[in-house]
Amino acid sequence: MPIPAIEIEGLSKEYPYGFLSLKKKTSLENLTMQVESGEIFGFLGPNGAGKSTTIKLLMRLIFPTSGTARILGRSINDVPMHQKIGYLPEQPYFYDYLTATELLDYFARFHNLTATDRSERVQRMLQKVGLETAKKIQLRKYSKGMLQRVGLAQAILHDPEVVVLDEPMSGLDPLGRREVRDIILELKAQGRTVLFSTHILSDAEMLCDRVGVIVGGKLRGVGTPGEMVGIQSQGMEIAFELTEVAKRFSLLEKATKTGAVYRVQLPEAELYAGVDELKAAGARIISVSQIKATLEDFFMNLVDADRAQANAVEVSGK
Amino acid sequence: MRNVWVVATNTFREAVRDRVLYNLVFFALLMMGAAILVGQISIGIEESVIISLGLSAISIIGIFIAVFIGVGLVSKEMDKRTLYALLAKPIERWQFLIGKFAGLAMTLTVNTAAMTAGLYLALWTVKHTLASSDVYLLTATYLILLKLTLIVALAMLFSCFTSPFLAILFTVGIYIAGLFAMDLRRLQAVNLTPATMSMFRAVSYILPNFENFNVMATVTHGRAVSASLVGQCTIYAILYGAIVLTGAALVFSRRNLK
C-alpha cells in the first residue's frame, strides 16, 4: 500500500491572546486527514476557517499545540524532506529588490541543483508562468497577479513530489486562473500530489479528486466533490417563454422570470404533468434540466450551521 | 554551510540595492571637508584631528547601520512575510539567522574598509605622505568592525522576541551600558553594600565590554596597539557573539510566524 503523501493526526493550534496571554483562541481543532499520493486535494473553507493555519503548520512556519503531521512518510520537522515539497504562500511577497530571474535562482540554490540546471529551470519556469518578458524587472514593479505567478514558479521549480498551494488563484485574472488550473492538472499528470486551499468552489469542483471542508477550525467532511454534495437529483427545472397566444395557467404563479424567460422548479414526479400544462397553455419550452446540489450549496449549509451554532452559544452565554 | 552562504550573499545584495553603502558619500564629504578645514584651523595637530574625526565617523556610521539594519534583518522579513516561501525550503532556521548575520557583517566589512581607505586618503591629502605608524589605523578599524558585528548580533537577538522599536532601544541601551562595563566593575562607593557591589560586578561581566574595542586615543598618538589586546578582543567578540547568536537562534527556532 503506497504511503499517503500527507498524513495529519490530531493537529491543533491555539493562539494565546489578551492580558498576559491568558485567553486562548483555537484556530485548528484536532484535525485528522490524509492526502493520497498522486491526487489533487482541495482544502475548502471560508476566510479564517483554518486552511492557512493547517498549511503553515505543514510548512513548519508555525508550531502545533498538539498533534503530528507527516509528509511522504517523514516528519514535517525533517528538514531534508522539504527538498521534495513546493509551497506557495497566500498572497506571496518576495524580495522586491530582486528580479524574477534572481529570485528563482536564489530559491533554487537551496536545492541540490547545478548552476546550469538552475539557469535552465528558471527560464523554463518563467516561460511556464508567462513572465518571460518581465524577467529582468524588479519585483517591486510587479502586480499582485504577477507576484502570484512568480510564487507558483518558485513552488514547482525543483520538481517537488508534493505541491502545497495556499489560495493559488488569488489575485489572478480569468486567464491567469485558467493557466494555474492547467499547471495543477499537469502536475497531477506527472504523478505529483497537489494540496491547495481555496474558497472558490468552482475551482475545487473542476480540479479536485477529493476535497476537505473546514469551517471554524474543524474538519466537516472529506470526499469527492460528488460524495460531498450527494448525487441524487433535487428536482427538475423547466425554462419556458410565453407566446402571444398563451393562456394564464397555475405554473406561471410559481415561476421566476429573467428577461423573457420563465423558470419553474418541480418535483421529478410532477415533470410530465407540468410539461403538459405548459403545452396546453401555449408556452414555448426552452429546456428541461435536472437540479443537482452544488458544492457551493453544501459549503453554504455548513457555514450557515456553524454560524447558527455560534449564535446559539452566544445567546446561551448571555 | 551552503545555505548560510546563499542567505548571506543575498543579504549583502539587499544592502547594496537598498543603497546602504550610500553612507560612504556622506563619509567622503566629511573627510574632504575636514581635510580642507583642518589645515587652516589646527596648526601642527592636523593628523590627530583627521584620525580622531575619521575613526569616530567610521564607528558612529557603523553603529547606525548595525543597529537599524541589524534589527530589521529578521523583523522586516517577518513583517513583509518574505520569510514564508524561504523557510518552507530545506533550510534550518538557525542557518537563515546566521546567514543574515553574515550578510550584514560582510556589508559592514566592505563599508568599514571603504571608509578606512577614505581616511587614509584624507590623511595623505593633509600630510602629503603616510608614516609607518599610520598602519595602526588598520588595527583601530579592525576593532571597530569587531564591535559592530557584536552590535549586529545583539540587535538580531532582541528583534527575535520583541518589536523593532524596542529592539532598537534595547540594543542602544546595552551598547551604552557596555561602554561603562569597566567603570561598573571598578565601582568603589562607600554607601554600597558588599552584596550590591557583587551584583554590579556580576552585571559588568555579563554586559558586553565595548570600551575594550576603543583604541582611538592610542592610534591617534601614533602608538601601536598590543597584539595581546587585539587577540583578546577577537576571542571575546567571537565567544560573546556566538553566545548571543545561539540565544537568538533558540528563540527564533520556536517562533510562530504571523
List of residues 6+ apart from A20 with CB closer than 8 A: none
Q: Is the ipTM of this complex over 0.90?
A: no
Q: By three-state DSSP, how is residue A231 classified?
A: coil
Q: Which residues contact B131 (CB under 8 A, 6 or more apart)?
A: B222
Give buried/exposed letters for A182-220 (b at 16+ CB in 10 A, else e).
ebbeebbeeebbbbbbbbbbebbbebbbbbbbbbbbbbb
Answer CATH for A6-228 from 3.40.50.10680, 3.20.170.30, 3.90.420.10, 3.40.50.300: 3.40.50.300
Q: How many angstroms separate the CA atoms of A63 and A188, rounded?
A: 29
B18 contacts on A by Cβ (under 8 Å): 97
- Chain A residues in contact with B80 by the CB 8 A cut-off are 93
* Residue of A170, A167, A122 whose CA lies nearest to A146: A170
DSSP single-letter state for residue A209: S
What the block records as the C-alpha cell of A25 is: 483562541
Instruction: Return the domain boundaries, chain A.
Output: 6-228, 236-290
Contact B164, B172 (CB under 8 A): no
Q: Give pLDDT, residue A198.
A: 87
Given this model, what pLDDT does residue A246 score?
A: 65
Average pLDDT over residues B59-73: 92
Based on its alpha-carbon atoms, the radius of gyration of chain A, rounded to whole angstroms, reads 25
User: CB distance from A72 to chain B under 8 Å?
Assistant: no
Q: Which three cell numbers stand for residue A86?
A: 513546493
Size of interface A-B (CB pairs under 8 A): 70
Please choose, from the candidates B96, B69, B89, B68, the residue with its C-alpha nearest in 3D space to the C-alpha of residue B255.
B96
- When scoring A109, A140, A148 by the number of chain B Cβ atoms within 10 A, the one with the most, hence best to mutate, is A109
Q: Rounding to the nearest 10 degrees, give the CA dihedral for residues A40, A45, A46, A48.
A: -110
**CA of B12, closest CA in chain A: separation in Å?**
12
Angstrom CA distances, A163 to A41, A78, A131, B80, stand at 10, 17, 20, 23
CB contacts, 8 Å: B89 with chain A = 82, 107, 110-111
CB contact under 8 A, A97 and B254: no
Q: Does A272 touch chain B (CB under 8 A)?
A: no
How much is the pLDDT for B189? Answer: 67
Distance CA A299, CA A44 (A): 8
Q: What is the pLDDT of residue A20?
A: 74
**B218 beta partners:** none
Is A92 an interface residue toward B (CB < 8 Å)?
A: yes
* Interval A35-51: pLDDT, tens: 999 999 999 888 888 99
Q: How far apart are CA B22 and CA B39, in angstroms?
A: 27
Residue A191 C-alpha, separation from nearest chain B C-alpha, in angstroms: 21
Q: Which amino acid is at A38?
A: G
The whole-angstrom distance between A138's CA and the closest CA on chain B is 11
pLDDT tens for each residue of chain A, 318 residues long: 678 999 999 999 998 888 777 788 888 999 999 999 999 999 988 888 899 999 999 999 999 999 999 999 999 999 999 999 999 999 888 999 999 999 999 999 999 889 999 999 999 999 988 888 888 899 999 988 889 999 999 999 999 999 999 999 887 888 888 888 999 999 999 999 999 998 777 788 889 999 998 888 899 888 888 777 665 567 889 999 988 776 777 888 888 988 889 999 998 888 999 999 888 888 899 999 888 766 677 777 777 777 777 666 555 544
Local structure of residue A294 (DSSP, 8 states): -
